[in-house]
Amino acid sequence: MAANDYDLALEELTRASTMRLLASESFDLPSFAALYDHLGQKAEALKSEHVISKQILDALRNAAKAIRNQAPYVTGARENIALADKFEVLLDLMIIGEGPRDRAPGVPRIV
């Protein structure tokens, strides 16, 4: 399966994290961590691609929006609001053709 193909695992991870947060107002950090890791692997695989699947873009945007929107009401979302930033940074990295492993904190980038 190519990285841009429809991904049933991504659909299930989105359902377990984002949809669960929105539907039951229950924040499950391990589910969001698994979603982020899965999307990070997708980002690495898609570095050289010029097109990114709408499913991937949707998962990234909806995860960040759900965390931000539920933060005032759900304690777990409020405590992990920085995770929304991580999803948005991952989207930005995918747009410029990079992955999360390309940026190491405290290490200067050599272009």
Domain boundary assignment for the chain: 8-100
What integer pLDDT is reported at residue 14 of this predicted model?
98
What integer pLDDT is reported at residue 102 of this predicted model?
83
What integer pLDDT is reported at residue 110 of this predicted model?
66
Q: What is the pTM of this model?
A: 0.90
What integer pLDDT is reported at residue 111 of this predicted model?
59
Q: What is the pLDDT of residues 47-65, one digit of tens each?
A: 989 999 999 999 999 999 9
Q: Position of tokens 């999360």? A: 100
Instruction: Please work out, in degrees rounded to the nearest 5, the angle formed at the alpha carbon of residue 80 by the alpha carbons of 5 and 83.
Output: 35
Low pLDDT (below 70) residues in the chain: 109-111
